[in-house]
Structures are given as structure tokens and as C-alpha cells.
Amino acid sequence: MNCPCCAAPIPSHGVICVYCGHRIDVDLQGSSKSTSENDLYTFQCPDCSLLLESIIIESTNGITGENLTVSRCSNCLGLFVQRNILDMILDTRVRQPSEIDFQLLTSLENSNRSLVKGWSYRPCPACQTLMNRKLHGKRSGVIVDSCREHGIWLDAGELRQLMEWSRAGGEKLNQEDRAFEKHQDIERQKRKQLAEHYQKNKLELDPNIEYSTAGQKEPTSFLDLLTEVIRDLLG
């Protein structure tokens, strides 16, 4: 990539030309965009204290059926986005790979981590409450500023890093991880229900007595009865 002002080469992950000082809009590069004239909110840049401008990223692929709006600082080019908007940008602007490129993910993760400088908490552009610093996505290496109520602040260049991460299979890895966690939660709930059922009934059952149920196979031991309970819970 070359600087549009002086044509000097821009280093990888660079957002400022070291020769002329021009700041490169690498995050929204290639997107069809326009500035909204009717801002509904007066968000303030956490670094520059300037009011953010609303940028409309026009839908070109017909997937979302609507335009996406983000807020951007005209000075530092930082972006403030709602969580669902960020997910939609990564969904519609990046072609998801069929397989995860773990080697590329490792390279991107190490590169992105090396770009993290310092550790300070910044105010939310909307409510001025200090935002949390957190890793966005499994193995992305991108640390973002997050407000639970209003959205995510991305420094200039971080959206591009997340798009590269998603293109390498990072979002696919994230989805697989969430699916595994959901499965684990379901299993924990089943074990909890089984434990509660056992605790509720163990005082009523004598493990030394054989129990029978009319019209059903007679369990000959407490273990058989517990097996029946498990079978009922699991459907």
C-alpha cells in the first residue's frame, strides 16, 4: 500500500505515513460510504475529544438488506460501533473460508499483539463511563475497548486486523468455540437436574428394597432405579 498523498510505501498494519504524516483510512477502504447529515447521537472521541461523524456503509451484497452505520473520528479515524453492527460488517465484508488456517491465525495473532501499546482505560464515547479492555475473538490478538451498554471502540487499523483474522478462519473458530461452550452448558444443566432429582428422591428410596412399577420392568436394585431416572431425563 502507498500513501495517497505522497505515494510513499506504507508498512504493514501502518495507518500513518512516516514521510508526510497523512493518516490512512485503512478500515473502510474499498467500502461504499457516505456521511450522515442527521446525527442522532453526539458521540465523543475518547482520545481527541472531538464529536464523531456518522458514516453509512452502504449495503452492496444484499445480505443485510440495509445500510450499516458506524461513528468515526475525523482526526484519528477511530471507530465506534455497536456489537451487532461489527458482527454484520465481518459477516458481509469477509468471505468465510471453508477451513481454518491455524498457521496464518498464529502469525496474525502474534503480529496484532505486538501492536498493542500500553494499557489505559478510556471513556465510552456515548456515556463517558470507562470501558473495559478485552480480547475480541479467539486468537485475534486485537484488544478492543468495550462498553456493555453502547458498543465497541476500535483504534484506526483494528477493523482491518479483525477482517484479516476473520478471513483466516478466526470467526469460524469463534463460532465452533461458542457451540462447544453451549454444548457444555447443556451437559452441566443435565447433570444439575439429575443431582437435584436424586437428592429429592434418595430420602424416599431404600437401596436395599426392590421397587416395582405396574406395567414396567421391575428394577431389581437402586442402581437400576437410578438408570431408569437417567433414561427418563435424557428422553
Convert the pLDDT of each residue in 74-84 to its tens digit.
Answer: 899 999 999 89
Residue 139 sits at φ, ψ, to 5 deg, of 65, 30
CA distances (Å), origin 93, targets 3, 125, 167: 23, 25, 10
**Nearest-angstrom CA–CA distance, 77 and 154:** 9
pLDDT digit string, tens, across residues 117-148: 767 899 999 999 999 999 888 888 888 999 99
pLDDT of 217 higher than 60: no
Amino acid at residue number 55: I
Place of cell 428422553: 235
**Residue 40 confidence class, pLDDT cut points 50, 70, 90:** very low
CB–CB of 9/2 below 8 Å?
yes
3-state secondary structure of 86: helix
pLDDT of 63 higher than 50: no
Residue 189 belongs to what H/E stretch? helix 170-201
Burial class (CB in 10 A: 0-12, 13-18, 19+), 23: middle
Write out the three cell numbers for 222. Answer: 437402586
